[in-house]
Chain A
Amino acid sequence: MRPPTSLKKEFLKKWIMGLQLCSSSKKEMSFLERKKAIKLSADVAMASARNATTRWSRALISNASKDDSNKGLVECILGPESESLKRASMSLVLCNKRNRSKKILRKSCSIRRARKSSSQMVMASSIAKRLVKKRTQVLKSLVPGGGSMSEFSLIEETLDYILSLRAQVDVMRHLANATELLNRK
């Protein structure tokens, strides 16, 4: 794992860059617009800090680039590698579609299988399995681009995502505090 500080540094760099871009493009922004810009640039910066090595980052970038208004921002933050990163993210989207159709197939298979077992012993384990399954689905919905991951890769992605989120939260909090202090003084 990378040392957290380097991650934070990279994140902060890119984030501030994105924010500068936002502020220069529009002089007057409403509160919500600002919040959106801040969050977006933070997210993209975080994702690019990973340099598209992880799936969630690629998914994040692809989601962000879908919206035309964000494209410029994304490109700036990503820097020179933006084109390759975008291509990587787009291929991910296509993979997702294929996996989704596979999953529909598998679900239809499992529906038939699930009706057969009814013994007491099976009930407990099946309940546990169902719980686990439900929760993995929730986790998949939380982690960006999680819908197409297997269980194992999901855990890895979650790990990385948690680390990045942590770094993001830390930096943002510090910035917020500093800004506030500055404003007060």
Chain B
Amino acid sequence: MMNMASPEMLHCLSTSGNVAGNGTDMTVFERQRVRMKWQQEQFQQQQQQQQQSYFGGNEFSMFSMGGQVGQAQQFHGLINGDSAGVGDLLGRAVKADPGLENVWPEFGKLTMPGTGFNVENAGFESAGILNCSGFEMNHTTSRTSSCPLAAAEAKVRESVLPEKIASAVGRESFKKRKADKVQSPKVVAEEETKDKRIKGCAEDGSPRSLRQTITKTAPPPLQPPQPPPPPTTTIEKHQQILQRFQKFKNPTTFMFEHGEARPLTATAWPKEREKISERMKYLQDLVPGCNKITGKAGMLDEIINYVQSLQRQVEFLSMKLAAVNPRLDFNIDNFLAKEVFPACAANFPTIGMSSEMTNPSYLHYDPIQQVATCGAEMGINPAEIALRRTISAPVSIPDTFLDSCFTQIQPSSTWDADLQNLYGPEFHQGRLMSFPSQAAFTGPIDASNLKMEM
């Protein structure tokens, strides 16, 4: 209804204005007055509508703002001036009625686009009517209808609208973001999302155009030159760090400065790759049970498991040793007694004499020398040795002891089976390699004893 009315009216006015001479001025003037009253009535109607449904009712009046730069500036002024206060804008909109008189002059300041302005302008005499005509010009150019008051109100509401959208959708984000730059894309984004949502709505024409206008108008005014906001996400932080270290563009060259590290991926270095594969093969031999596994990940897995198990064994054995030795005196020479190692006794030199001869300060001990000097001494009673032995006396570790322990390997199928039962599934089967040496060590002792120990 309103859409159609004013263009027709204007058309009539223009035609009448052109046709008639002076007489038409008066008639035009009178008609302007009539129109003003009519528009005021319209505005009052709109006001009522506004109070009923703020958001939905008068949106169709909003698209009078379409394509008008001046109003964009107004919008800009409103937004910048009062970005935080949604409530203020709301108050402004409510006060549109009494505040209209203020709004009118603002509109008067707007630079009106369109050539049609001049045509009508000639017919008007009073400044007050000029304002009114200005609004009319707005309407003609925009091909929409609404009274200038409605336009003013619409402008106010428009400024409120994006704020309302933002508040409805992401009020929290607004409060968090300090920089306006971040705000504006958010506003636009939120409006666009709302735009899509409202598309299916019955009053779709106006909201869409409204969003469009807002998206058009919002970005330009809300881009004041500002320093970049502080990084709010980890990506931005990383980027900042990267910018600072741009000189180290090639990480591999950066690493090679100190000649230490190589690039993690071996693809760039065929020699390295060869070496790596060589080492992996060696590891395969070392780590039991890796013969079947191909592929780096599986191999690494096995290696990790093995290292972990070895470390755990060390822990366990140290605990065991601590439990067995209340005083931490490890008199290895006692081990060399005939009674313990009848099989290897012949090889062991006794330490009895050495304890007397050697310096009590263990720091100066030289076990190999002692072994050499006492090699001939045999057959001394190990009990005497134990009695004479003092804790501070150095312990000589004859090479032969170790040789006999570690090199004699007497594997037997029954032995292996027993050990398997002993150690259960957690020990890798391949580790039986180490058990035969243990078997040599405790040669005379049968498996049952071992079980009890463990």
Interfacial residues, chain A to chain B (CB-CB below 8 A): 4-5, 8-9, 12-13, 16-17, 19-24, 27, 29, 31-32, 34-35, 37-39, 42-43, 76, 95, 98-99, 102, 105-106, 108-109, 111-112, 128, 131-133, 135-136, 138-139, 142-143, 148-152, 155-156, 158-159, 161-163, 165-166, 168-170, 172-183, 185
Contacts and interface: CB of A to CB of B under 8 A. Distances in A.
B9 interface: no
Nearest 9 Cβ contacts at the A-B interface:
A34-B322, A23-B328, A135-B300, A35-B322, A172-B317, A165-B310, A39-B318, A150-B261, A38-B318
Given A109-B251, A172-B321, A180 B314 contact: no
A108 B238 contact: yes
Contacts of B84: none
Contacts of B319: 35
A39 B314 contact: yes
B287 to A, nearest CB: 7
Contacts of A106: 251
B332 to A, nearest CB: 6
11 contacts: A9-B397, A13-B397, A16-B330, A20-B330, A112-B239, A172-B318, A177-B438, A177-B442, A178-B332, A180-B453, A182-B340
Nearest to A167: B406
B318 A42 contact: yes
Nearest to B263: A150
Contacts of B332: 16, 175, 178
Given A135-B301, A162-B306, A179 B328 contact: no
Q: Tell me whether chain A's interface is mostly helix, strand or loop, or mixed.
A: helix
Nearest to A25: B328
Interface residues of B, number: 79
B53 interface: no
Nearest to A178: B335
Given A8-B402, A102-B254, A128 B297 contact: yes
B451 interface: no
Interface stretch (B60-68, B157-165, B274-282): B274-282
Contacts of A142: 304, 307-308, 311
Contact of A156 (B279, B297, B363, B365): B279
Contact of B307 (A136, A143, A180): A143
Nearest to A24: B392
Contacts of B367: 13
B314 A95 contact: no
A180 to B, nearest CB: 5
Contacts of B251: 102, 105-106, 109
B346 interface: no
A105 B320 CA distance: 45
A179 B319 CA distance: 13
A150 B329 contact: no
A174 B453 CA distance: 12
Nearest to A169: B313
Interface in B297-346: 297, 300-301, 303-304, 306-308, 310-311, 313-315, 317-325, 327-330, 332, 334-335, 339-340
